[in-house]
């Protein structure tokens, strides 16, 4: 599979996701929303599989490659949310967010060679990154909802809307925790220790505690919606540092074992 075919697969997937989002928004039979969204996921995932075969390694090393997974998991997270809670707008949001990451990959693909450094040649590599990408997708959807509630919603925030933020955060944090656990096992295998306070590990811990603080705040003060949403946004900012921000921190240059895209 050549990267030049990405735009074709991306357009086909986006069209399917847009049709699924339209069907959900119009409130027609849920089967149409399910079918179109799933078809788009199948098309996009077929490209990921093709790249996996072509590169002879999981496409997860560079930022461009991880954006592939984020573009895939956002509609998947939207579909799961729609199936579970029937929020008719969630597929539209997930489609728009996926479109943004696809556009970034089209204009800045960050193509790299097939080489995979020894530390990444581990059976824990794929599950660790995939679990994290799904966690990011769920927490990203929660952030979109928080932005909408804080700055775009004119009426009073409803309980069901906060419940959605809570549910997305619960799922996202659960997968983030699983990602940290698989990462610790991988680190023990690769470097001989579970945790070393590497810059990325430090930011991951800060992010985990931030989302945990949101959950505890919601449980302790369920009527305080706006402060909780602010905590949710701050947590997502920390998540960005954990995801790609450390690549640009001077403290991580030549030090962090997680800056794999720096050659």
Per-residue pLDDT tens for 173-182? 999 999 999 9
Handedness of CA 256, 257, 259, 263 (dihedral sign): positive
Contacts of 108 (CB under 8 A, 6+ apart): 64
- pTM for the structure as a whole: 0.77
Reported as a pLDDT band with limits 50, 70 and 90, residue 263 is: very low
pLDDT of 211 reads: 97
pLDDT, mean over the chain: 86
Q: Find which of 89-93, 133-137, 170-174 is predicted with most confidence, using mean pLDDT.
A: 170-174
- What number is the average pLDDT over the span 210-226? 95
Separation of alpha carbons 53 and 61, rounded Å: 14
pLDDT of 262 reads: 47
Separation of alpha carbons 158 and 222, rounded Å: 12
Please say if the pLDDT value at position 248 is more than 80. Answer: no
Q: Is 190 helix (H, G, I), strand (E, B) or coil?
A: helix
Reported as a pLDDT band with limits 50, 70 and 90, residue 114 is: low
- What number is the average pLDDT over the span 153-172? 90
8 or 203: whose pLDDT is higher? 8
* Token pair 């390694």: residue: 57
**Among 77, 75, 68, which residue's Cα sits nearest to residue 20?**
75
Please say if the pLDDT value at position 112 is more than 70. Answer: no
Domain chopping of the chain, boundaries: 1-114, 117-257
**Strand extents, DSSP E, 105-226:** none
Reported as a pLDDT band with limits 50, 70 and 90, residue 198 is: confident
pLDDT of 205 reads: 93
Residue 201 · residue 184 · CB < 8 Å? no
pLDDT of 231 reads: 97
């Amino acid at each position: 599979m050549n990267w030049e075919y990405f735009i074709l697969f991306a357009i086909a997937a986006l069209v399917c996701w847009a049709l699924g989002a339209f069907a959900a928004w119009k409130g027609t039979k849920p089967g149409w929303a399910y079918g179109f969204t799933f078809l788009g996921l199948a098309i996009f995932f077929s490209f990921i599989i093709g790249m996996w075969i072509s590169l002879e390694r999981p496409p997860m090393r560079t930022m461009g490659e991880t954006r592939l997974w984020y573009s895939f998991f956002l509609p998947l997270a939207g579909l799961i949310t729609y199936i579970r809670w029937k929020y008719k707008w969630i597929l539209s949001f997930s489609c728009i967010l996926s479109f943004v990451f696809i556009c970034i990959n089209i204009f800045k693909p960050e193509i790299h060679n097939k080489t995979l450094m020894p530390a990444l040649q581990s059976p824990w590599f794929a599950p660790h990154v995939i679990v994290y990408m799904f966690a990011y997708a769920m927490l990203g959807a929660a952030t979109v909802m928080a932005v909408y509630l804080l700055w775009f919603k004119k009426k009073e925030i409803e309980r069901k809307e906060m419940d959605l933020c809570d549910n997305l955060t619960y799922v996202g944090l659960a997968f983030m925790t699983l990602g940290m656990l698989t990462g610790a096992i991988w680190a023990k295998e690769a470097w001989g220790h579970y945790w070393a306070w590497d810059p990325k590990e430090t930011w991951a811990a800060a992010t985990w505690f931030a989302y945990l603080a949101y959950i505890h705040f919601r449980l302790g003060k369920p009527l305080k919606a706006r402060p909780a949403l602010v905590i949710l946004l701050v947590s997502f900012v920390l998540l960005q540092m954990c995801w790609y921000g450390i690549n640009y921190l001077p403290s991580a240059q030549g030090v962090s074992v997680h800056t794999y895209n720096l050659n």
